[in-house]
């Protein structure tokens, strides 16, 4: 795969661009004839507990066809679900979800030109065989991890004061986020901390890691506005993650009851990702998001186009 220009970051780049893809988007940006049975996985917008997190096929969302532009369809996609507590991305405000879906459309549009180039000069059968093997190349495990982080932000942070969704028997911890200041309220987080830990059966100081697990990856330069460790911008992701973590991730079992999965993920998949540490609530925040979007490496769009082309034109 590397000989064909695909980087070590291939599974992360592909998973990022897959996670909110709809069949309408797949048909608009890539192939108007893309079938419903397309074997292109994506993250389920439904965040209900124990709902299937990763779907095996990118599904029809049901865009409003009365709108002429994809931009209005995406806006409607967010706003008509804005009151649903278990939709989209946990802890994202409406403004952040709008910024996110617009950003994803930008990535898909950038990948489109590479897809059209591949239609003129197709990749080899050998390359597509490797690209389509999502278990071996790590795309599926990265998508599973991203789905878990979308549903339970901060779960893999290694920081017990960071709220991360809905552990067993507890109401959603959204009140632990100060949506005005954009930071987690430490008083609420501390008051819930012992309950959450006992419920998840996690060690009190969060330092011991189950055998086979990994120590947290701490980023000393992390910015408060950073969207997510997993969605980090540009090629820096390749140097931030040790190969040991990637190997462990590919062997991690994401199946089973969600309560048990949360326990194992907290202990074994610590990577320092705090989720959204500060909300987009002003021009300063948007400047950080905007510059981050601009820094994203265009090679990721080429890699995604290669993945989509192989999935649609090459039998697994």
pLDDT tens digits, one per residue of 213-272: 333 333 434 444 444 434 444 444 544 577 888 889 999 999 999 989 998 998 899 888
Amino acid 222: pLDDT: 42
| Tens digit of each residue's pLDDT (9 = 90 or more) over 121-175 | 999 999 999 999 999 999 999 999 999 999 998 888 887 766 563 333 333 333 3
Across the chain, mean pLDDT equals: 79
| Tens digit of each residue's pLDDT (9 = 90 or more) over 118-130 | 999 999 999 999 9
pTM: 0.79
| Tens digit of each residue's pLDDT (9 = 90 or more) over 64-96 | 999 999 999 999 999 999 999 899 998 899 999
Asked if 195 and 186 count as a contact pair (C-beta separation under 8 A), the reply is: no
Residue of 129, 99, 63 whose CA lies nearest to 231: 99
What is the percentage of the chain residues whose pLDDT exceeds 70? 74
Amino acid 163: pLDDT: 59
Query: How many CA atoms are closer than 13 Å to the CA of 240, on its beta-carbon side?
Result: 22
């Amino acid at each position: 795969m590397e000989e064909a220009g695909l980087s070590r970051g291939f599974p992360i780049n592909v998973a990022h661009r897959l996670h909110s893809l709809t069949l309408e988007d797949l048909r608009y940006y890539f192939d108007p004839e893309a079938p419903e049975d397309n074997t292109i996985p994506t993250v389920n917008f439904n965040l209900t507990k124990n709902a299937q997190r990763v779907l095996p096929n990118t599904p029809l969302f049901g865009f409003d066809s009365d709108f002429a532009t994809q931009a209005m369809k995406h806006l409607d996609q967010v706003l008509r679900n804005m009151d649903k507590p278990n939709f989209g991305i946990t802890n994202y405000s409406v403004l952040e979800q709008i910024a996110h879906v617009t950003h994803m459309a930008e990535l898909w549009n950038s990948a489109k030109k590479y897809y059209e180039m591949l239609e003129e000069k197709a990749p080899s059968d050998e390359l597509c065989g490797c690209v389509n093997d999502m278990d071996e190349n790590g795309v599926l495990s990265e998508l599973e991890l991203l789905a878990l982080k979308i549903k339970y932000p901060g779960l893999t942070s290694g920081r017990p004061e960071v709220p991360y969704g809905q552990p067993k028997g507890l109401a959603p911890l959204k009140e632990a986020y100060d949506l005005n200041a954009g930071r987690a309220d430490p008083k609420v987080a501390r008051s819930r901390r012992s309950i959450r830990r006992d419920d998840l059966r996690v060690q009190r100081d969060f330092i011991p890691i189950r055998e086979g697990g990994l120590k947290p990856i701490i980023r000393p330069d992390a910015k408060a506005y950073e969207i997510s460790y997993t969605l980090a911008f540009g090629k820096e992701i390749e140097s931030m993650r040790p190969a040991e973590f990637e190997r462990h991730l590919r062997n991690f079992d994401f199946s089973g009851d969600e309560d048990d999965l949360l326990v194992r993920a907290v202990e074994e998949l610590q990577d320092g990702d705090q989720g959204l540490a500060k909300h987009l609530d002003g021009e300063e925040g948007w400047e950080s998001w905007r510059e981050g979007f601009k820094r994203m490496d265009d090679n990721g769009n080429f890699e995604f186009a290669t993945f989509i082309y192989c999935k649609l034109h090459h039998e697994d």
